[in-house]
Amino acid sequence: MPIRNTILASCCVVGLVLSLAACGVTGGSTANEPGGNATPTPTGGNGGGTPAPDKVTVLLDKAQYGVGDTFTISVVNRVATPITASDHQSACSIVTVQVERNGAWVNIGKCLQGKPTQRITLAANATTTIAMAPGVMSLAANTTWQAGTYRAV
């Protein structure tokens, strides 16, 4: 049974990546461009919305964030069975946060805790919420998000 859940989780992640890639990239300025103090612009979520039935969906709590804001990411499992995910993604969570740089998506926030990877169960028909504060992505204190376009996958 664990193999089935792993395969299902892998398929869901691939589906999420493909569906998020199909959403396109929204424009945003980077720190090197004029207006580099612009607000980070998230993609991969519509600031709410209704999760699709029988799928796993990643949603953000709002469409735009300030450089000091915490991103609230909801992973909504609308599958009838629990699935598992590994917590070795961004900031040792089950999602990968990416920033758009020079037209390419770059993973940010490596898991720096030096702990073994844990399997996290996402309950059937339930939502798992993850908070990503700017400082959680690095060991530095008083950090902020760089201006740009971000997404969670």
The answer to whether the predicted template modeling score (pTM) of the entire model surpasses 0.95 is: no
| pLDDT band per the 50, 70, 90 thresholds, residue 6 | very low
Using alpha carbons only, give the angle 71, 21, 32 rounded to the nearest 5 degrees: 60
Q: Where are the domains of the chain?
A: 2-152
State the Cα–Cα distance between residues 89 and 86, nearest whole angstrom.
Answer: 7
User: Which one-letter amino acid corresponds to residue 77?
Assistant: N
pLDDT score, position 14: 37
Contact (Cβ atoms closer than 8 angstroms) between residue 147 and residue 38: yes
CA distances from 10 to 15, 40, 130 (A): 9, 29, 19
62-102 per-position pLDDT tens digit: 989 999 999 899 999 999 999 999 999 998 999 999 999 99
